Structure 1
Amino acid sequence: MRGGRRRGGGEMAHYKAADSKREQFRRYLEKSGVLDTLTKVLVALYEEPEKPNSALDFLKHHLGAAAPENPEVEVLRLEVAEMREKYEAVLEENEKLKTKLAQYEPPQDEKHGE
């Protein structure tokens, strides 16, 4: 009988530990804004007059819009804008150099005529 009591007591401690972990996790989700965001998206789906064919796609789309911008994405976006500017400048310079070079090269027609 004593063995049974110990096992029972151990199970109680196990449940308390699990409850404590769940509570910590719930607080973590609440503090980080996950619960609030999920609630808003689910409410938006609930209020949608015509339910989408894929509720999961609806959630993904709305969660993506609600997610805070990843700092790495912003850095990459700035880098792309900078590269685009440089690319445009290089194209412009290339056109100017082609025009200058054309002044020093005889036209193609004259080369064939010689």
Structure 2
Amino acid sequence: MAHYRASESKREQFRRYLEKAGVLDSLTSVLVALYEETEKPNNALEFIKQNLGPGMDSAESESLRTELRELQQKHNLLLKENKELRNRLLQYEPAVEDGGAE
């Protein structure tokens, strides 16, 4: 009987911890939003992940996605430019070595 009370006490402490941290409110609001969806999503877990995020609204999220795409494109362009410049440099390096050997 004492073991039952000890585990119940731990459960109650954990529940208070979750409540104090705002976890219960967040989970409840996401589950209510899922319940109120007229067309239930095919993947409920994905819905929960998207709506339980770090609190960014969709505009912020889309802005970050756009920035990421732009930076990835810029990165790819810079890699291409770097490769082209290296190839151009390699065209001149052997001539420098040949001239220095004479």
Q: TM-score range by the shorter chain?
A: 0.5 to 0.7
Cα drift, residue 66 of structure 1: 3.0
Query: Aligned residue for 1:29?
Result: 18
For structure 1, the 5+ residue unaligned runs are 1-11, 68-83, 85-114
TM-score, with structure 2 as normaliser: 0.53
- Write out aligned runs for 1:1-114 (5 A): 12-66=1-55
Cα drift, residue 65 of structure 1: 4.7
Aligned positions, number: 58
User: Counterparts of 2:32 and 2:55 in 1: how far apart (Å)?
Assistant: 14
User: Counterparts of 2:53 and 2:12 in 1: how far apart (Å)?
Assistant: 27
User: Counterparts of 2:3 and 2:54 in 1: how far apart (Å)?
Assistant: 40
For structure 2, the 5+ residue unaligned runs are 57-70, 72-102
Q: In structure 1, give the amino acid aligned to 2:47.
A: F
User: Counterparts of 2:54 and 2:12 in 1: how far apart (Å)?
Assistant: 28
Q: Which has the larger radius of gyration?
A: 1
How many percent identity over aligned positions?
Answer: 72
User: Counterparts of 2:37 and 2:54 in 1: how far apart (Å)?
Assistant: 17
Q: What do you get for the CA RMSD once the two structures are aligned?
A: 2.0
Query: Aligned residue for 1:90?
Result: none
Query: Aligned residue for 2:91?
Result: none
Cα drift, residue 18 of structure 1: 0.3
TM-score, with structure 1 as normaliser: 0.48
